[in-house]
């Protein structure tokens, strides 16, 4: 059993998904303020190509003029999560846990650690060793190997009164060419990868979502 309601939003425009999680976030905050138990929710989705940049991000990490983004059909948003610039698009599981961390007696740092651990366990199903990199939130492969370190999952979270929104972006069958338009998460010397690239073939996306959802029910139990 899990202590959250799961929503698979399918492929959805970034702005519409942001609206859905914002409504859930505000409802959870309001319930908490009134001493009621609100609904924790986990949203999974794919986005149309979009770049988002967190509140501490730098526009200089966007490597092409914004006008060219429009020509290429890529949206661009400044948002209120932590972290720098990242890409979302088809073939990527973008996850938005709208959780009251008090449900599991977690602090924010513990929560991010648990998110990373969930992704690490997911990758282990495929025989891939996901790891952490000190000072760089997310999940990496070969983080300690110069010129080989590559990120497979970005994490950026907003928290208010221990209620969270935003979350993670896990590359499954993601078109990695889009990452050449940015310094991913602000890094100039590290690469990005996907499950498809690591496994050498396209992966079953629905199966990947089901496996990840199952892990969330284990890592954030009732």
| 35 labeled part of a ligand binding site | no
Query: Which residues are CB-contacts of 42 (< 8 A; sequence separation ≥ 6)?
Result: 4, 5, 6, 7, 95, 96, 97, 98, 99, 213, 216
Which ranges of 34-144 would DSSP assign to H, the alpha helix?
66-71, 108-125
Query: Is 6 marked as a binding-site residue?
Result: no
Residues in CB range of 34: below 8 A, 6 or more apart: none
Q: Is 186 marked as binding a ligand?
A: no
Q: Which residues are registered as beta bridge partners of 51?
A: 76, 87
Q: Are 42 and 95 in contact (CB under 8 A)?
A: yes
- Nearest 5°: the CA angle 212, 215, 221 is 135
87 carries a ligand binding annotation: yes
Q: Is 27 annotated as a binding residue?
A: no
81 is in an annotated binding site: yes
The answer on whether 156 is annotated among ligand-binding residues is yes
8 is in an annotated binding site: no
Catalytic residue among 163, 182, 185, 192: 185
**How is residue 71 written in tokens?**
């020509």
What is the C-alpha to C-alpha distance for residues 7 and 21, in angstroms, rounded to an integer? 10
CA angle 141, 146, 147 (to 5 degrees): 80
41 is in an annotated binding site: no
- Known binding residue 86? Answer is yes
Q: Is 85 annotated as a binding residue?
A: yes
Is 185 a residue of the active site?
yes
* Count of CB atoms situated within 10 Å of the CB of 53: 22
Annotated binding site: 81-88, 154-156, 167-169
Annotated binding site for substrate: 81-88, 154-156, 167-169
Q: Which residues are catalytic?
A: 185
């Amino acid at each position: 059993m899990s202590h959250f309601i799961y929503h698979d939003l399918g492929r959805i425009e970034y702005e519409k998904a942001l609206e859905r999680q914002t409504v859930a976030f505000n409802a959870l905050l309001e319930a908490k303020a009134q001493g009621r138990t609100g609904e924790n929710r986990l949203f999974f989705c794919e986005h149309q190509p979009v770049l988002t940049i967190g509140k501490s991000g730098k526009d200089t990490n966007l490597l092409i003029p914004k006008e060219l983004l429009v020509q290429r059909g890529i949206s661009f948003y400044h948002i209120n999560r932590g972290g720098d610039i990242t890409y979302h698009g088809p073939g990527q599981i973008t996850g938005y846990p709208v959780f009251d961390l008090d449900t599991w007696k977690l602090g924010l740092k513990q929560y991010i650690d648990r998110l990373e651990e969930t992704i690490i366990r997911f990758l282990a199903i495929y025989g891939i060793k996901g790891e952490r990199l000190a000072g760089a939130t997310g999940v990496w492969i070969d983080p300690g190997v110069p010129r080989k370190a590559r990120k497979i999952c970005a994490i950026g979270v907003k928290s208010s009164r221990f209620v969270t929104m935003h979350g993670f972006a896990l590359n499954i069958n993601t078109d990695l060419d889009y990452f050449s338009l940015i310094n991913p998460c602000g890094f100039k010397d590290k690469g990005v990868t996907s499950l498809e690239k690591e496994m050498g073939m396209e992966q079953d996306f629905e199966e990947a979502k089901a496996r990840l959802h199952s892990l969330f029910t284990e890592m954030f139990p009732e």
